[in-house]
Structure 1
């Protein structure tokens, strides 16, 4: 019983007392902030009791929307500020929706998305699909993608898959079931993106959304739909809340992709430590320490432990230093090809390769300078 109360207390602590993200519309915010357009596919249903159009309820029909999100000028990279309830948004500091569109049917969504892709020009028509994690509202997932798109200056069109999280610190079991429920919806979205003319697709999935993503890719592989898999340029899993044996089975069934699956890990991820405790395991994929456990898979582990603060469950998006470093993520290939003694800048720590798997330890710039002296 004490352990149960302890887990509950820690989950509530991780949730903190910050205002939750919700869609607040202010067209005038576009004049102050930088507007990022986020296309959305969702299996969230309407919640009449609260008036939420996209709430915790599960919808068997995948619906489509678009949010134009103003990223405020007064913020640090990685930071997202939501407007507290009953207060008017401040577009100088708050993430605000300047325009919201709910598409009446998939064709309208696909046509709008196709237009955005065509504006990227032939050869550059890439879609970046973000799949949010545990305890996330509709707005929080969309705003997080807008933040990542802005801070990392991502090329391509931003697409968010919003699955029906309960958005509550104690909704872990509900969210795990919802992630399984939402597999078909993500597959529907991937097919819509392909039909809209995306030449390449980058999937970025966080936490429980990583489990959903791998299950969906496995499902597509079982259906032998190779054209969809061939469009996927890369899969990036951030703090993935996945059992390691389950991931191994998923990855083997999906088979080779265009590039290795990139997995961001942290040994100080408190949320994943709790998840491991709840499931009776030592580790989850997102806090794996021994790359040899994945040696027979084509994966790259990026250890972000040195950037961990707080719960350490979204280092990639929250750390200004890590965001700056990731702006040079293209250096990974050259670093892996270089001799150990020639490595500088991006990856000064240990680079360990076991068969097809590679583990890279990332360090802040201050640590890099110290190591190179």
Structure 2
């Protein structure tokens, strides 16, 4: 509740934080308008993308799955803190900086992981979450954040839905620019309402360039997608081929999606499906993390907030192997139950089985 009472739109830059915590670089692109009072970004919709390079200092007291935010008054010993910021001059400058980051990585750690935030997020919320994912999951590549103009307000759901549609062209430009880089694969991660933006954009690109999504992306991960199931199917149907792996993290205990389903007059959202049969025509892996939901995490970002689940999924090679295209080989790679229904695979993970290993 405290986060709802503080200004999530601004924070000071504290260079000393880099010596206190662990620096996680994050490259960012945003369609938000600048806030002249704070120097950061608000919820306005900009005509053009703006690009930044940020160093986020992860505090020494950090525990997996947690983000401690000081926002206007961060304590680098316990809060995620911006240690450095560099505003980049357009797409070419961004691409040069990205290539520089890639070049410093070992040959087998040059993937680009693009995170698209969800509903009720400020610019800084998304940056901190990108840094937390990259740090906690030990992402072997470059972390990139796409920030669309969310109202960052619990009452701004309709505004956010419209902003998702507004941001499609911007995300397309971003993805096409990333695909021009030399390096590893591009993995797109969308959360909550951000998954609608991901799917709408991939649909849009594939209509113009059939087969682009599968050819250029190394994988797609939808986390707690606040997306109508029928809408997802129509989006997927317009892709010449779906990128593989294509993972969808779901929880039947996701309280936010239960509320969204009621608001939208539906029984389910994609993110709280419990039966892979509904997606049997699509080559997706449905990963059920319902058993990892707690009162504290609320089930809407379980994959990124459960320390046990993060530990499991960040084990070297474990997650990638579980998503390999040979679906017959998936069973047994992660502790839980594997069910295959035509083209779809469902993995039901259990913390009890994790603790037994």
Q: TM-score, normalization: structure 2?
A: 0.92
Counterparts of residues 241-252 of structure 1 (less than 5 Å): 241-252=226-237
1:43 matched residue in structure 2? 31
Q: What is the CA distance between 1:21 and its match in structure 2?
A: 6.3
In structure 2, C-alpha distance between the alignment counterparts of 1:333 and 1:289, rounded to whole Å: 19
Structure 2 residue 57 is matched with structure 1 residue 64 = no
Number of residue pairs matched by the alignment: 351
CA displacement, residues 27-66 of structure 1 (integer Å, 9 cap, x when unaligned): 0011111101100111011234x53532100012011111
In structure 2, C-alpha distance between the alignment counterparts of 1:222 and 1:281, rounded to whole Å: 28
1:321 matched residue in structure 2? 308
1:168 matched residue in structure 2? 153
In structure 1, C-alpha distance between the alignment counterparts of 2:147 and 2:320, rounded to whole Å: 28
Q: What is the CA distance between 1:104 and its match in structure 2?
A: 2.0
CA displacement, residues 190-237 of structure 1 (integer Å, 9 cap, x when unaligned): 122122324410001100000000000000000116456412000000
Report the more deviating stretch, 198-207 or 170-179: 198-207
1:4 matched residue in structure 2? none
Which one has a bigger Cα radius of gyration?
A: 1
Structure 2 residue 176 is matched with structure 1 residue 186 = no
In structure 1, C-alpha distance between the alignment counterparts of 2:282 and 2:204, rounded to whole Å: 19
Give secondary structure in 2 for the equivalent of 1:79: coil
Structure 2 residue 275 is matched with structure 1 residue 293 = no
Structure 2 counterpart of 1:149, from 121, 126, 134: 134
Report the more deviating stretch, 307-316 or 18-27: 18-27
In structure 2, C-alpha distance between the alignment counterparts of 1:60 and 1:268, rounded to whole Å: 38
Q: What is the CA distance between 1:125 and its match in structure 2?
A: 2.6
In structure 2, C-alpha distance between the alignment counterparts of 1:110 and 1:198, rounded to whole Å: 12
Structure 2 counterpart of 1:130, from 92, 115, 137: 115
In structure 1, C-alpha distance between the alignment counterparts of 2:272 and 2:251, rounded to whole Å: 5
In structure 1, C-alpha distance between the alignment counterparts of 2:174 and 2:293, rounded to whole Å: 32
In structure 2, C-alpha distance between the alignment counterparts of 1:218 and 1:146, rounded to whole Å: 28
In structure 2, C-alpha distance between the alignment counterparts of 1:15 and 1:270, rounded to whole Å: 18
CA contact (8 A) 2:210 2:239 kept: no
Structure 2 residue 238 is matched with structure 1 residue 253 = yes
Structure 2 residue 17 is matched with structure 1 residue 29 = yes
CA contact (8 A) 1:351 1:360 kept: yes
Cα–Cα, structure 1 residues 14 and 133, in superposed 2: closer, same or farther, change >3 Å? farther
Report the more deviating stretch, 231-240 or 105-114: 105-114
CA contact (8 A) 1:64 1:102 kept: yes
Which structure 2 segments of 5+ residues have no match?
A: none
CA contact (8 A) 1:21 1:83 kept: no
Counterparts of residues 214-225 of structure 1 (less than 5 Å): 214-224=199-209
Structure 2 counterpart of 1:330, from 301, 304, 320: 320
Structure 2 residue 336 is matched with structure 1 residue 355 = no
